[in-house]
């Protein structure tokens, strides 16, 4: 008699895969790590998600969905000043990188470092590049919507987006090194104060 196929919550398993890849990176994660973490067999994981690269891509997609809902959703015109939106965006990023039940830091930043080091398969590397471009486009579009196609002094929307991404990346990198949210929040306040002179709205 054939054994019954084991059922499992695919979303929960995907969240677990994301956490393992986030913490250990693609190259540092073995199939044994994934089966141990999910308590599933290799055939079950392969059947549900495909090979290891497909699992990694699915994990990146899961993380991107979380980021879109908790970080990039902050970038909406709901009456807040531009500086308040930027502060909220950076704080949401810092909170996401310092959750007690998650690895410290940012999965996408870690994946980007792995991609630059040649540690990712081609399709995963392309997906990381696509995600990074998407983040840049979203921020650029946000600034264009707030300031139009003009500039604040010598700064245009693209330059502002690049600047904010540098701030965001630095924050989550420091979180990965162990800096807590309170320290990151103080850094954000200093950064926003530094921007206030150039980005003050009339």
Q: Within a 10 A sphere around the Cβ of 100, how many other Cβ atoms?
A: 5
Instruction: Name which of 49, 54, 56 is nearest 11 in CA terms.
Output: 49
Residue 73, pLDDT > 80, answer: yes
| Residue corresponding to tokens 């919550």 | 9
End-to-end CA gap in the chain: 76
Residues 6+ apart with CB under 8 A from 197: none
- Predicted confidence at residue 3, as pLDDT, reads 43
Beta bridge partners of 152: 155
Q: pLDDT per residue over 82-107, tens digit each?
A: 999 999 999 999 999 999 999 999 99
| Residue corresponding to tokens 């008699």 | 1
Q: pLDDT per residue over 164-180, tens digit each?
A: 999 999 999 999 999 99
Superfamily of domain 64-195: Tetracycline Repressor, domain 2 (1.10.357.10)
Contact criterion met (CB below 8 Å) for 112 and 136:
no
pLDDT averaged over every residue in the chain:
91
Contact criterion met (CB below 8 Å) for 198 and 155:
yes
Using alpha carbons only, what angle is made at residue 133 by residues 130 and 137, rounded to the nearest 5 degrees?
A: 135
- Predicted confidence at residue 1, as pLDDT, reads 39
- Predicted confidence at residue 154, as pLDDT, reads 53
pTM above 0.85, yes or no: yes
Beta bridge partners of 155: 152
Domain range annotation of the chain = 64-195
Residue 65, pLDDT > 90, answer: yes
């Amino acid at each position: 008699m054939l054994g019954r196929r084991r059922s499992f919550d695919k979303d929960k398993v995907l969240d677990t895969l994301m956490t393992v890849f986030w913490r250990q990176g693609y190259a540092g994660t073995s199939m044994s790590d994934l089966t141990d973490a999910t308590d599933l067999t290799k055939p079950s994981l392969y059947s549900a998600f495909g090979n290891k690269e497909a699992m990694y891509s699915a994990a990146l997609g899961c993380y991107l969905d979380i980021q879109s809902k908790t970080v990039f959703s902050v970038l909406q015109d709901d009456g807040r000043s531009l500086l308040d939106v930027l502060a909220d965006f950076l704080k949401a990023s810092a909170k996401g990188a310092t959750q007690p039940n998650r690895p410290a830091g940012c999965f996408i930043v870690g994946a980007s470092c792995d991609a630059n080091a040649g540690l990712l398969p081609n399709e995963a590397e392309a997906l990381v590049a696509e995600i990074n471009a998407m983040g840049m486009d979203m921020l650029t579009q946000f600034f264009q919507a707030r300031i139009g196609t003009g500039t604040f002094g010598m700064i245009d929307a693209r330059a502002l987006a690049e600047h904010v991404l540098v701030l965001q990346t630095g924050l989550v990198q420091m979180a990965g090194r162990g800096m807590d949210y309170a320290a990151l929040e103080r850094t954000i306040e200093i950064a926003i104060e530094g921007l206030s002179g150039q980005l003050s709205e009339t």
